[in-house]
Amino acid sequence: MKQVLALLIVFCGFLTAGAQNKDLKKLPSIGFQFSMFDFQSGVDIKNKGLSTVLREKSLGKGDRLNPGLTVHYMQGITNNVDVMARLGGTFLTYPSRNTLDVGTSDKFYGELDANLNIKLLPDNYWVVPYLQAGIGASVERGNWMAQIPVGAGLQVNLFDQVFVHINTGYRVPVTSRANYGLVHSFGVSVPLKERVAPPPPPPPAPEPPKDKDGDGVLDVDDVCPDEAGVAALRGCPDKDKDGVADKDDKCADVAGLARYSGCPIPDTDKDGINDEEDKCPQQAGVARYNGCPIPDTDKDGVNDEEDKCPAVAGIAANAGCPEVKEEIKTKVEFAARNIFFNTGSYQLQKKSYAPLNEVAQILKDNPTLQLDVEGHTDNTGDAAKNQVLSENRAAAVKAYLVAQGVDKGRLTSAGYGIDKPIADNKTAAGKSKNRRVELKLRSY
């Protein structure tokens, strides 16, 4: 027997399928087997020994074999070790051990076990012998029993991970009711998925290309192979980091633009605004006017930002507004001296209408003029009341002028009460002068 097994292993060495894949673990597979259960021979081997059973030629006799079916699941955990879960069953009269409870008719007998198949060769050989051991359980007439399955078998590689299995297993009982037995099986297993071929090995690395100046740009592509530079400029240096190679940069120490040969954008009028953004490149100006000077719309020599009357020519002394003529000032001052109110009231007297009408006409004839109306009182009576009175009198004058067609936006009114006397309040004449309305012309 030993000589036969040795010859079988040597023979398998010549039947290699020649696979080059180093990962030879068995793919997840499912298998079906036709099985013959033989408990009588198993008991004889235990009691008499295998040699006696072989000599008596009782092993494998037809009257001892009970046909059944087995299904199993297999998966490799290494190239030479597979794990296998197996479920099988048949109908037989089970010879229970250590009990008088022996059936008299065939009953269903089932087995469930988990095994390790230790293969002598990996799966890329056509014929692979293997040893088997595991742990299992069986059931018969509702009685659960534990046993240890051991055995041996042959695996024949048909094609693409499809295998034929021939094996014989011996059941060693663990629990008292279980008995010794043999199971002979013949079947096939097929993979549940295909093996993914590993990628081919990478080609040998080529000789590294040369980079004389060590700037990361290979000499074959480097326009300046003797000077370290940047890849964006094909290996040439750029001292001012403006994207123009030093060899082409007319301003190599100052960052500029390629369209100016590496120099900055020029500023011809030196106003701090480059010519590309300057709408008046030949005339110094300011940024808020895109490089042009501040405009002077009325051409009076006062720029619009400082000119209080930018649409009307004036003089610098009057913030760009026209100078107020002396004759107009005189008329307005005369009118102011002829504004009268009833005592303690801000009701205008009728004799005030004519001078105020003249003031209204002056304002309408001179649209650049503005007027400030100021009310004042003497110190007679309560100061707070005098303050309110002065404000109301100034407001009354303003309201009269607005009623005569003067834009109220050109008028202001304010009262100052007793705070700004122009004469001594100790005399009647002084008090009379302090009770007044002042009209102050402005041309802006």
- Give residue-wise pLDDT tens across range 264-314: 888 888 888 888 888 889 888 888 888 888 887 878 788 877 777 887 777
Query: 145 and 57: one domain?
Result: yes
Q: Spell out a b/e string for 15-52, using b for 16 or more CB atoms within 10 Å of the CB, else e.
A: eeeeeeeeebebbebebebebbbbbbbbbbbbeeeeee
Mean pLDDT of the chain: 86
pLDDT of residue 4: 37
Closest CA to 66 of 99, 94, 98: 94
β-bridge pairing 81-92 and 143-159? unpaired
Which residues fall within 8 angstroms of residue 251, CB to CB, at 6 or more apart? 240, 261, 262, 263, 264
pLDDT band, residue 94 (cuts 50/70/90): confident
Tokens of 133: 């051991």
For 13-37, write each residue's pLDDT tens digit.
443 333 344 778 889 999 999 999 9
On whether both 330 and 182 belong to a single domain, the answer is no
Instruction: Examine residue 294 and state whether it is found in any structural domain, yes or no.
Output: no
Q: Is residue 384 part of a domain?
A: yes
pLDDT-based confidence at residue 72 (cuts at 50, 70, 90): very high
Residues 251, 118: one domain? no
Question: Does 175 share its domain with 251?
Answer: no
**Per-residue pLDDT band at 103 (split at 50, 70, 90):** low
E-strand ranges in 355-421 read 370-376, 411-415
117-159, pLDDT tens digit by residue?
999 999 889 999 999 999 999 998 888 999 999 999 999 998 8
Shared domain for 31 and 102, answered yes or no, is: yes
Helix, strand or coil, per DSSP, at residue 123: coil
Distance in angstroms (rounded) separating the CA atoms of residues 414 and 373:
6
96 domain residue, yes or no: yes
- The tens digit of pLDDT for each residue in 304-316 reads 777 778 877 777 7
Q: Is residue 6 part of a domain?
A: yes
pLDDT at 104: 65
Residues 248 and 182 in one domain: no
Last residue within a domain, chosen from 218, 237, 262: 262
Q: 428 or 57, which is more confident?
A: 428
How far apart CA 163 and CA 27 sit, in angstroms, is 11
- Report yes or no on 105 lying in a domain: yes
Residue where a domain terminates, one of 191, 213, 239: 191
Same domain, 257 and 140: no
The answer to whether 364 touches 390, Cβ cutoff 8 Å, is no
In which domain, by residue range, is 412 found? Answer: 326-442
Asked if 169 and 251 sit in the same domain, the reply is no
- In this structure, the number of other CB atoms found within 10 A of the CB of residue 140 comes to 20
152 and 244 within one domain: no
Q: Does residue 28 belong to any structural domain of this protein?
A: yes
Q: Which two tokens stand for residue 349?
A: 């007297």
Q: What is the pLDDT of residue 414?
A: 96
Instruction: Kindly tell me the sign of the dihedral angle through the C-alpha atoms of 45, 47, 52, 56.
Output: negative
Q: What is the pLDDT of residue 114?
A: 94
Q: Is residue 298 part of a domain?
A: no
In this prediction the pTM is 0.42
Q: Check residue 257 and report its DSSP letter.
A: B
Cα dist from 433 to 171, 314, 393, 424, 438, whole Å: 140, 35, 15, 9, 11
Domain count, the chain: 3
pLDDT at 360: 96
Query: What are 70's strand-pairing partners?
Result: 33, 88
Same domain, 24 and 159: yes
Same domain? 164 vs 250: no
Confidence of residue 263 (pLDDT cuts 50, 70, 90): confident
pLDDT at 132: 94
Q: Which string of b and e fits 327-336 if b means at least 16 CB within 10 Å? A: ebeebbeebb
Q: What is the mean pLDDT of residues 187-216?
A: 84
Residue range 384-442, pLDDT digits in tens: 999 999 999 999 999 999 999 999 999 999 999 999 999 999 999 999 999 999 999 98
The Cα–Cα gap between 278 and 19 comes to: 79
- Look at strands 181-191 and 81-92 and give their pairing: unpaired
Which residue has better confidence, 223 or 83?
83
Give the pLDDT confidence score for residue 56 in this predicted structure: 82
Q: What is the CATH number of the domain that holds 368?
A: 3.30.1330.60
Q: What is the CATH number of the domain that holds 28?
A: 2.40.160.20
Q: What residue has token string 């993914």?
A: 196
**pLDDT (mean) for 187-192:** 92
pLDDT tens digit sequence for 191-204: 988 877 778 888 88
Helix (H, G, I), strand (E, B) or coil at 290: coil
How much is the average pLDDT of 100-108?
70
- Best-predicted range by mean pLDDT among 52-61, 97-106, 258-267, 374-383? 374-383
pLDDT of res. 444: 67
In a domain? residue 349? yes
**Does the pLDDT at position 320 exceed 90?**
no
What is the rounded CA–CA span in Å between residue 247 and residue 266?
21
| Other Cβ atoms closer than 10 A to 351 | 10
Q: Within this chain, do residues 187 and 233 fall inside the same structural domain, yes or no? A: no
Whether 10 shows a pLDDT value over 70: the answer reads no
Average pLDDT over residues 54-80: 88
pLDDT in the model for residue 49: 84
